[in-house]
Structure 1
Amino acid sequence: MTHSIDQSINCLGTFCGKQDIEHLTKEALNDTYGIKKVDVMVLFGGSILAGVEVMADAIQNQIAQQYIIVGGYGHTSETLFTKAENAFPGISTGIESEAELFSAILSAEYRLAPDYLETKSTNCGNNVTYLLDLIHREQIPAKSILIIQDVAMQLRMDLTLKKHVSKDVTVINYPAYHAEIILRNNGLAYREDIKGMWEIKRYISLLLGEIPRIRDDEHGYGPKGRNFLTHIDIPVNVMHAFDEVSTHYPELIRKANPKFASQ
């Protein structure tokens, strides 16, 4: 185990886990964007249980006009449902989507509820398009949208949403958690416990899956590839981190699962 592998993983986590405001408060929104309430706050499926706590804080702090949870059943759902059952036995009975599961936990733990659920999406792309369909269908004002996603997928969700909304829509990022990897006993460990957190190799795999997707080349999801995302330039230090981690863990590079592709 090299002494830089933890730093490289954390570099990927910081890059992928885009965060636009320091705290989820009206004051932070006003200081950064000149608004005290966003029109819409969205918690996306694909995140871990910690995302529910973030949504609860947002509702309690009254930072949005409308609260939406989006998520059907995708490549992360089996793990999420298992961890939810371990934390809240019986919570997933009769539930088939991540949005419903998050909503059930929000109710059980905090006695809170979102305004809307979207339960059919299976991947990052239709998470966004189905969300926008719901907003259009329900005629929800959405000039500002705050999105909460797993650290590994936060940046890609941002790039996907910006592909589909006009430039006058303010998109604000706030990931569901931050994870710091450290070296401990010649192995990798999380510095702090995070509710429902992925096993470390799963977390690494999620991060490694992101860079090839957001890289704007013929193999990626940017305009030069499948055109799912807006363009982004990946910093040199992030590519160096990706190269180091992928060389150390080549078996963890995640390929897209066609089972959850948009139809």
Structure 2
Amino acid sequence: MTFTQTDLNDFNLLGKFCSQRDITELTSQSLNNKYGFPQADVYVLFGGSILYGVDILAKAIQNKIAKKYIIVGGYGHTTATLQQTVQNAYPDIPAKNMQEAEIFAALLKKRFGLEVDFLETASTNCGNNITYLLELLKDKQIDFHSIILSQDATMQKRMAACLQKYVASDVTIINYAVYQTNLVMKQTHLAFDQKFLGLWQPERYQNLLMGEIPRLRDDKTGYGPNGKGFIAHVDIPWEILSAYERLHQKYPDLTRPGDPKYLF
């Protein structure tokens, strides 16, 4: 499929909106500059991310960005792809028999010799990623007032909005999407402007992005308080909604429908 530059600009607008990063880098200085503290209470990597999430997690640990480190993820709509990717790249890791959090923990140990404090392996979607995380924090008696979330670029905005629904307003939620990228046309094929370990195929990335905007909308069909009530209200700028509508009208088959097994 060939896309115009206008199409690519629209996809990249959606990508920039969804892949929120509240600090420029995972360092104490960046945290201190913006929030006035050098270390967050908790850092969480979510298993819905690509493999490059392990690199980001390792950097967070090495930079002592938080007091506690957690990987969250059971079996969701991206798990089969993750398992296959890891099986191909690291045949000695029995990924086919592992949950997302276990896979990322194994990769973290193998590639960096590092470990996290806790794993959450029962969740299947964005919603119970958060509720099970909160249950784990309560069970382990981890009091937190600041938390860094790292999720796949396509799902970062929704993950933070979900957490916002459940925590007090004085909890500082800090977004740091695992990656940020742009789509480009290279001769006749669609590609990314930079590479990351385990990055989706461009068509899959488009599909994930196009599925996010309807979910983030706070209307009767969206996930916000005026719809399904899964997440807190998200302000979506008109240029993002316009970009989505243009793409949806032109490429209606690219919008990812919700899988009933993994809603939401």
**Both proteins in one fold, TM over 0.5:** yes
Partner amino acid, structure 1, of 2:127: G
For 1:64-143, what aligned pairs fall within 5 Å after superposition? Answer: 64-93=66-95, 95-143=97-145
The amino acid that maps onto 2:99 is S
CA-to-aligned-CA distance 1:123-147 (integer Å, 9 cap, x gap): 0000000000000000012110000
Match for residue 39 of structure 1 among 33, 37, 41: 41
Q: How does 1:143-222 map to 2 (within 5 A)?
A: 143-222=145-224
Q: CA deviation at 1:245?
A: 2.2
Distance 2:250 2:203 in 1: 12
User: Quick one: which of 242, 250, 253 aligns to 2:252?
Assistant: 250
Q: 2:10–2:244: 8 Å Cα contact kept in structure 1?
A: yes
> Among residues 228, 231, 234, which one is paired with 1:232 in the alignment?
234
C-alpha contact 1:6 1:188 (8 A) present in aligned 2: no
Deviation at 1:236, TM superposition (A): 1.0
Q: TM-score, normalised by structure 2?
A: 0.96
Aligned residues: 262
Mapped to 2, the partners of 1:250 and 1:129 lie a distance apart of 32
Equivalence for 2:25: 23
Question: Quick one: which amino acid aligns to residue 258 of structure 1?
Answer: P
- In structure 2, stretches of 5+ residues that fail to align are none
Distance 1:246 1:78 in 2: 27
Supply the AA of the counterpart residue of 2:75.
Y
Q: Please identify runs of 4+ aligned residues in structure 1 that moved more than 3 A.
A: none
Partner of 1:56: 58
> 2: CA distance between counterparts of 1:91 and 1:2?
41
Q: Which moved more, 1:81-90 or 1:150-159?
A: 81-90
2:217–2:234: 8 Å Cα contact kept in structure 1?
yes
- Residue 46 of structure 1: SS of its match in structure 2? coil
CA deviation vs aligned residue, 1:68-89 (integer Å, no higher than 9, x gap)? 0000000000111111112211
Q: Separation in 2 of the partners of 1:216 and 1:36? A: 34
TM-score, normalising length: structure 1: 0.97
Distance 2:185 2:138 in 1: 47
CA distance in 2, matches of 1:176, 1:221: 23
Q: Distance in 2 between matches of 1:205 and 1:236?
A: 21
Cα distance per residue 1:83-114 (max 9 Å; x no partner): 11122113135742100000000000000001
Partner SS state of residue 83, structure 2: helix
1:174 and 1:155 map into 2 onto residues whose CA distance is 10
> Of residues 8, 11, 19 in structure 2, which corresponds to 1:9?
11
